Amino acid sequence: MVQISIQEEFAGTMLDLKAFIGVFNKHADIFSPYKGYLLKHWSQLYKRQFKDRGMLKGKKREEIFKRWLALFFEGLRMKDLTSHYKDMVEFGRELTDMGISLEELILSLHFFEEVSMPLLMKHYPDKDKLAKMLFALDMLFHNELACLSMAYFYRYRSEIARLEKMKEDLTHMIVHDLKSPVNVISVAIDILLGGIGQTGQVNDSEYLKLIASASKNMRQMLNNLLDIHKMEKGEFVLDKSYGDINEVTQDVIESIRPKLDDKKIKVLFRKEEIAPFFFDKGVIKRVIDNLLDNAIKFSSSGSSVIISSKAKDGKVFLSVKNRGPVIKKEYREKIFEKFGQARLASKGKKYGTGLGLAFCKMAVDASGGEIKVLSGKTGTTFVFSLPA
């Protein structure tokens, strides 16, 4: 619910209309018999202007305009307009949540003014009295427009604050995710240099493997970020050729073997015979690598990850299943969004930057396939398909 202080929030914007309260009460009496006429012609002007562009269509438009008209009459009959202004701000907030543009709000109010003013002209033949009545109504419309516009201000102020918070969360995540491999490389190099200083040779090649693995993680994160940017700009080009997806998957498993051994995680590759087909082996290899890396990250030590491949109905399917935590239904689409996991972090859900999954979705989409996540008591499965 929007909470506002008229005096503070609308300073310099709202016009003081206390002197016109009696005039507004007369307006209510004049307009009351014409409610059906106002709704009909108001709706017609809106429809003529926006056609298929407008968000308000059919029964929804009728419902919104009826509520709007009811608020207008409530305002005309009030002795203190402050509560009416608050109701208008709240009404404006509801309209913005529905996706109605500020242009629609402004023009809709203008259309209502256009259909209502002639009724006053008809009622007041005296020009001086008519001028006063029209002026008062015009000032009320000005204040109501300020209220509706203020609803947009609240909406976008909140959106800016949300984006700033997401940016802060994202920065922390990227720094954290980069800091970890950098620390591994730094410590491993110090140990290697210490050994070389004593014996003149590398004593333990395991530290070299750690450096290679950490470097790969950093490179993968940066490549994901750069390629997502390319995809968004339409500059990402696939290099397709005939290949065996089972061979590509096996290569990924072998490349990530040190990480599997370190967490004592077993990979079970349940593959069906799949004929070679046309796809970008490098890109799909990175998709599988990201999914497998994600599965390892959320698997407990000593557990297993299951990779399955099959061909069906002209498509090739590959899935990666882990025994990690359940992903709630309302979060399953968000984790594929660019920095979507940063948004979840603001809700207390700790995942990571989400760049890997965003890359996977964009890469699979670019390849003409689909990717989705299934999650339940038995674990979480990422499955994608490609046209064979």
Question: CATH number, domain at 352?
Answer: 3.30.565.10
pTM of the model: 0.51
pLDDT of residue 53: 79
Average pLDDT over residues 11-36: 80
Find the domain containing 188 and state its range.
165-214
Rg (CA), the chain: 31
What are the DSSP calls for 80-124, one per residue? Answer: -THHHHHHHHHHHHHHHHTT--HHHHHHHHHHHHHHHHHHHHHH-
Residues forming a β-bridge with 268: 306
The number of domains in the chain is: 3
Residues 43 and 158 reside in one and the same domain: yes
163, 188, 203 — which closes off a domain?
Answer: 163
Lookup result for tokens 């498509």: 315
Least confident window among 145-154, 227-236, 241-250 = 227-236
Q: 7 vs 12, 82, 350, CA distance in Å?
A: 9, 9, 42
Lookup result for tokens 């709630």: 328
Cα separation, 274 vs 385, whole angstroms: 13
Has residue 304 been placed in a domain?
yes
| Confidence category of residue 7, pLDDT binned at 50, 70, 90 | very low
**Is a pLDDT exceeding 60 seen at residue 41?**
yes
pLDDT of residue 148: 81
Q: Report yes or no: 366 and 346 within 8 Å, Cβ to Cβ.
A: no
Has residue 323 been placed in a domain?
yes
Average pLDDT over residues 38-50: 86
Residues 13 and 157 reside in one and the same domain: yes
**Is a pLDDT exceeding 60 seen at residue 332?**
yes
Question: What CATH number does the domain containing 134 carry?
Answer: 1.10.490.10
Encode pLDDT of 46-67 as tens digits: 888 888 778 888 888 888 888 8
More confident position, 321 or 144: 321
Average pLDDT over residues 189-215: 74
Encode pLDDT of 360-371 as tens digits: 888 899 899 999
Residues 182 and 288 reside in one and the same domain: no
Residues 381 and 271 reside in one and the same domain: yes
Has residue 104 been placed in a domain?
yes
100, 133, 163 — which closes off a domain?
Answer: 163
Residues 14 and 158 reside in one and the same domain: yes
Residues 185 and 258 reside in one and the same domain: no
What are the DSSP calls for 222-245, one per residue? Answer: HHHHHHHHHHHHT------EEE-H
Has residue 364 been placed in a domain?
yes
Has residue 10 been placed in a domain?
yes
Least confident window among 11-20, 21-30, 136-145 = 11-20
Q: Report yes or no: 309 and 274 within 8 Å, Cβ to Cβ.
A: yes
Residues 12 and 144 reside in one and the same domain: yes
More confident position, 134 or 308: 308
Has residue 100 been placed in a domain?
yes
Length of the chain: 388
Residues 22 and 54 reside in one and the same domain: yes
Q: Which helix (H) or strand (E) holds 282?
A: helix 281-297
* 79, two tokens: 């002795």
Residues 177 and 63 reside in one and the same domain: no
Residues 330 and 379 reside in one and the same domain: yes
19's CB contacts (< 8 A; 6+ apart) are none
Residues 64 and 184 reside in one and the same domain: no
Has residue 228 been placed in a domain?
no
| Confidence category of residue 176, pLDDT binned at 50, 70, 90 | low
The count of C-alpha atoms lying within 13 angstroms of the C-alpha of 165, restricted to the half-sphere facing its C-beta, is 13
| Confidence category of residue 349, pLDDT binned at 50, 70, 90 | very low
Residues 100 and 65 reside in one and the same domain: yes
| Confidence category of residue 39, pLDDT binned at 50, 70, 90 | confident
Has residue 229 been placed in a domain?
no
pLDDT of residue 11: 41
